[in-house]
Amino acid sequence: MTEQEAHQQLEALRDELNEYNYQYHVLDNPTVSDAEYDQKMKQLTSIEAEYPSLITADSPSQRVGGEPLDAFEKVAHRVPMLSLGNAFNEEDLRDFDRRVREGLATENVTYVCELKIDGLAISLRYQDGLFVQGATRGDGTTGEDITSNLKTIRSIPLRIKDASSIEVRGEAYMPQQSFLSMNEAREANQEEPFANPRNAAAGSLRQLDPKIAAKRNLDIFLYAVGEWESGSLETHSDRLEYLQQLGFKTNPEWRKCQGIDEVIQYVEAWVEKRANLSYDIDGIVIKVNNLEAQEQLGFTAKSPRWAIAYKFPAEEAVTKLIDIELSVGRTGVVTPTAILEPVKVAGTTVQRASLHNEDLIQEKDIRIGDTVVIKKAGDIIPEVVRVVEDMRTDEQKPFTMPDICPSCGDEVVRLEEEVALRCINPNCPAQLQEGLIHFVSRLAMNIDGLGEKVIEQLFQASYIHTIADLYRLERDELLKLERMGEKSVQNLLTAIEQSKENSLERLLFGLGIRFVGSKAARTLAEHFETMDHLEKATFEDLVAVDEIGDKMADSIVTYFADEKVTQLIRELKELGLNMSYKGAKASDAPSDSVFSGKTVVLTGKLEIFSRQEAKQRIEALGGNVTGSVSKKTDLLIAGEDAGSKMDKAKKLEIEIWDEAKLQEVLGEEA
Ligand code: IVH
């Protein structure tokens, strides 16, 4: 293919793929199969690989292409991004309408009502039709440049359907479904779940590595125009329609309302209907439709006089707390849960709410039999807000946490600096059972066909007591379980057998060592390569690994010091489980570079490379970049103001380079 032909083909593929993307993500109406899309995308990327100079900014391959950043650049908003005044009830809305009518000296005002999307405000700048910059609102005057992260949002067009220059504004958000599945994965990974979709969206867009944002399934609705020199439309509703014509995703629920009564009807309807949406809204935004009228009304110091945000009250419900149930988690934490008389809140029926710990129960003075007010935090996770004291009789029973574990009867303890009570009996059946559920889970050993129910049955039948027993299960035993036929037993046994071949990181994560999530497990496996090495690692060896902190190192050392653990690992080994890392450690990296197999530490202020870039380039050449200097360090690269790491390296007589030397060597290696 000549360059000329490549150019033409790329142009056609880009247009085609961008159009498919628009149909799928903006119109929600896909016109080709995923396979067809993937095939075209492959074609595009392979031509681009051959002719990298022909890659354009609007190529669909550029959505996740960005490198991680060191920090976000600041962006000055040439037109400030203001926020809105609030209305909390009908009276506030009527006051707003009165001010508008007085300001315009007219009785007839047309408003546009829109859903108030609960996400974060974003500005998108297009130059000659091409998406060039995306920013957060920040303080309204200055935001942060999050272009790379925003490019990962598929409903944001990389090129608009008019070669004009325009800055548009809208709300980036995380759909509820994405939020729920992301939190599920985070919990499985021992990561703190996000409290609500809003925080999750904000957290995702604040990631320096766009690959993380790309995985978060964010979306956006555009609702305003910021800077626009050639703008000539007369009403806000015309602008919304124009945004849609340009290829932006606008929210379809907006309506024109004549006068405040119609506005109030719209607001009231959505108090009910909001539960049916697949994304969160926290109110309704009401805007004067005529743009000249908007101009005439102007702004106060903080917000426009032509718009207001009606905020929904957090939906609450009253119900009875029937009981408090205790459960023991994998790490022994005893958690109280309120069992409630079923009640509907924000669209779903709630019958349980976590009470978290004893302190919370005491603080709110929650007693069994109380009438309680509940709400959904971030409208998702049910929580007890308070007790309705007026409903208290002398029948409610105060609740105290037990001294013994509800599962095994051993004493529970309150560890220093923790509010949680813990059962520390390593043989506690509830912990073992939860531990096994974790062991077989998707991110750990990923054993298909072993759901919670089956594990519960296996424990009840006393077929298993430890992880090792899982690999000793017999066909006849399994056949005796409820709802287990020949076929499912065979499939299960095959899945168990296959799991023996898993690479070390899955086993490590599955063991459930405190603070070791799946990412840390991979780092450990990659670094130590075998279980033997890891078992022998000292605290110092561990903290020398990038991303392994004191807390985790401590926990790992304590874990492997336990004789029961050593015994378990010995048994697993005998049962045939793989104990080494099978991943692609520096597989593509040359084995004959200056950095091959070397452990390198970066310190001080680097001027030529960003930290991330230096790390990546060294790793690409087979080096291993770690966080701190130890006997294992082969090379220290020191920028300006290098401190204690430099001193330590000198003491250990480790080779030290400055940044210029690094640049020189990288140049030679390239
Ligand atoms: S218009 C100057 N429309 O609510 C007017 N804002 O409290 C700019 N928001 O910062 C805002 N949905 O983050 C507007 N349909 C909508 C909105 C909306 C959500 C957010 C936005 C803004 C905040 C105002």
Last residue of a domain, which of 574, 596, 624? 574
Is 224's C-beta closer than 6 angstroms to any atom of ligand 1?
Answer: yes
- The DSSP line for 638-653 is E-BT--HHHHHHHHTT
Q: Ligand 1 centre from 334 Cα, in Å? A: 42
Q: Would you say 123 and 225 are in contact if contact means Cβ atoms under 8 Å apart?
A: no
Domain CATH for 622: 3.40.50.10190
Binding residue per annotation — 113? no
For residue 290, list its beta bridge partners: 235
Within this chain, do residues 339 and 226 fall inside the same structural domain, yes or no?
A: no
Determine, yes or no, domain membership for 532: yes
CB atoms within 10 A of CB 431: 24
Question: Does the structure show a pLDDT above 50 at 616?
Answer: yes
Element (DSSP H or E) covering residue 509: helix 504-511
Last residue of a domain, which of 267, 293, 311? 311
Question: Does the structure show a pLDDT above 90 at 607?
Answer: no
- 606: tokens are 């680097």
Residue 142 half-sphere exposure toward CB, CA atoms < 13 A: 3
Within this chain, do residues 207 and 129 fall inside the same structural domain, yes or no?
A: yes
Domain CATH for 52: 1.10.287.610
Which pairing describes strands 120-127 and 166-173: parallel, antiparallel, or unpaired? antiparallel
Determine, yes or no, domain membership for 191: yes
Among protein residues, the one with the nearest Cα to ligand 1's atom 11 is 83
Q: Would you say 134 and 124 are in contact if contact means Cβ atoms under 8 Å apart?
A: yes
Is 304's C-beta closer than 6 angstroms to any atom of ligand 1?
Answer: yes
Question: Does the structure show a pLDDT above 60 at 600?
Answer: yes
| Atom number in ligand 1 closest to CA 287 | 1
Range of the domain at 333: 316-413
What are the φ and ψ backbone dihedral angles of 531, each rounded to 5 degrees?
-65, -40
- Lowest model confidence (mean pLDDT) among 221-225, 337-341, 649-653: 649-653
Domain CATH for 454: 1.10.150.20
| Atom number in ligand 1 closest to CA 309 | 7
Active site residue 116: yes
Domain CATH for 111: 3.30.470.30
Q: For a ligand 1 pocket test, name from 117, 198, 243, 288 the mutation site with the most ligand atoms within 8 angstroms of its C-beta.
A: 117
Closest C-alpha among 55, 20, 56 to residue 40: 20
H helices present in 65-175, as ranges: 90-104, 147-151
Counted domains in the chain: 5
pLDDT of residue 524: 95
Residue predicted with more confidence, 398 or 606: 398
Is 284's C-beta closer than 6 angstroms to any atom of ligand 1?
Answer: no
Is 82's C-beta closer than 6 angstroms to any atom of ligand 1?
Answer: yes
Within this chain, do residues 321 and 305 fall inside the same structural domain, yes or no?
A: no
Determine, yes or no, domain membership for 533: yes
Q: How far is 401 from 324, CA to CA, in rounded Å?
A: 10
Binding residue per annotation — 114? yes
H helices present in 562-625, as ranges: 563-574, 611-620
pLDDT, mean of residues 390-412: 94
pLDDT of residue 366: 97
| 3-state SS class at 483 | coil
Within this chain, do residues 333 and 300 fall inside the same structural domain, yes or no?
A: no
Each residue's pLDDT tens digit, 308-320: 999 988 778 999 9
pLDDT of residue 102: 96
Q: Ligand 1 centre from 183 Cα, in Å? A: 26
Among protein residues, the one with the nearest Cα to ligand 1's atom 17 is 116
Is 434's C-beta closer than 6 angstroms to any atom of ligand 1?
Answer: no
H helices present in 3-77, as ranges: 3-25, 34-50
36 Cβ contact list (under 8 Å, min separation 6): none
Closest C-alpha among 229, 226, 72 to residue 140: 226
Write down the mean pLDDT value for the chain.
91
**Cα angle value 571/577/581 (rounded, 5°):** 125
Within this chain, do residues 379 and 451 fall inside the same structural domain, yes or no?
A: no
Q: How far is 358 from 92, CA to CA, in rounded Å?
A: 41
Provide the pLDDT confidence category of residue 670 given band limits of 50, 70 and 90: low
Within this chain, do residues 182 and 206 fall inside the same structural domain, yes or no?
A: yes
Taking CA atoms, 410 is separated from 288, 433, 465, 466, 607, in Å, by 66, 16, 17, 18, 58
Within this chain, do residues 107 and 126 fall inside the same structural domain, yes or no?
A: yes
Taking CA atoms, 495 is separated from 450, 503, 579, in Å, by 9, 15, 18
Q: How far is 344 from 451, CA to CA, in rounded Å?
A: 29
Helical axes 34-50 vs 3-25, angle rounded to 10° = 150
Provide the pLDDT confidence category of residue 500 given band limits of 50, 70 and 90: very high
pLDDT of residue 598: 87
Last residue of a domain, which of 260, 276, 311? 311
- Lowest model confidence (mean pLDDT) among 301-305, 324-328, 564-568: 301-305
Q: Look at phi and psi of residue 61 and say left if phi exceeds 0, alpha if psi is from -120 to 50, else beta.
A: alpha
Is 333's C-beta closer than 6 angstroms to any atom of ligand 1?
Answer: no
Q: How far is 217 from 638, CA to CA, in rounded Å?
A: 39
Q: Which amino acid, residue 1? A: M
Place of tokens 């005044």: 85
Place of tokens 């204690």: 644
Contacts 24+ apart (CB under 8 A), 520-526: 520/547, 520/548, 520/552, 522/583, 523/547, 523/548, 524/548, 524/556, 525/581, 525/583, 526/581, 526/583, 526/585
Q: How far is 422 from 419, CA to CA, in rounded Å?
A: 10
Q: Ligand 1 centre from 283 Cα, in Å? A: 10
Q: How far is 633 from 598, CA to CA, in rounded Å?
A: 8
Determine, yes or no, domain membership for 424: no
Each residue's pLDDT tens digit, 369-396: 999 999 876 556 789 999 999 999 989 9
Within this chain, do residues 622 and 565 fall inside the same structural domain, yes or no?
A: no
Domain CATH for 393: 2.40.50.140
Determine, yes or no, domain membership for 80: no
pLDDT of residue 586: 41
Within this chain, do residues 109 and 36 fall inside the same structural domain, yes or no?
A: no
Q: Running DSSP on this structure, what letter comes out for residue 597?
A: T
- Percent share of the chain, pLDDT over 90: 68
Burial of 296 (0-12, 13-18, 19+ CB in 10 A): middle
**Cα angle value 493/494/498 (rounded, 5°):** 120
Within this chain, do residues 186 and 301 fall inside the same structural domain, yes or no?
A: yes
Provide the pLDDT confidence category of residue 587 given band limits of 50, 70 and 90: very low
Q: Which of 116, 249, 375, 615 is catalytic?
A: 116
Closest C-alpha among 39, 251, 69 to residue 151: 69
Determine, yes or no, domain membership for 76: no
pLDDT of residue 112: 98
Taking CA atoms, 56 is separated from 14, 19, 22, 65, 152, in Å, by 9, 16, 18, 12, 16
- 152: tokens are 């990962």
| Atom number in ligand 1 closest to CA 120 | 13
Closest C-alpha among 113, 390, 152 to residue 237: 113
- Lowest model confidence (mean pLDDT) among 57-71, 225-239, 456-470: 57-71
| Atom number in ligand 1 closest to CA 303 | 2
Question: Does the structure show a pLDDT above 90 at 352?
Answer: yes
Q: Ligand 1 centre from 651 Cα, in Å? A: 58
Determine, yes or no, domain membership for 20: yes
| Atom number in ligand 1 closest to CA 86 | 7
Is 86's C-beta closer than 6 angstroms to any atom of ligand 1?
Answer: no
Within this chain, do residues 150 and 236 fall inside the same structural domain, yes or no?
A: yes
Is 659's C-beta closer than 6 angstroms to any atom of ligand 1?
Answer: no
pLDDT, mean of residues 595-617: 84
Residue predicted with more confidence, 612 or 26: 26
Binding residue per annotation — 37? yes
Within this chain, do residues 344 and 305 fall inside the same structural domain, yes or no?
A: no
Closest C-alpha among 626, 470, 438, 642 to residue 544: 626
Determine, yes or no, domain membership for 445: yes
Q: Running DSSP on this structure, what letter comes out for residue 67?
A: P
For the entire predicted model, the pTM comes to 0.59
pLDDT of residue 418: 81
Place of tokens 């072993």: 450
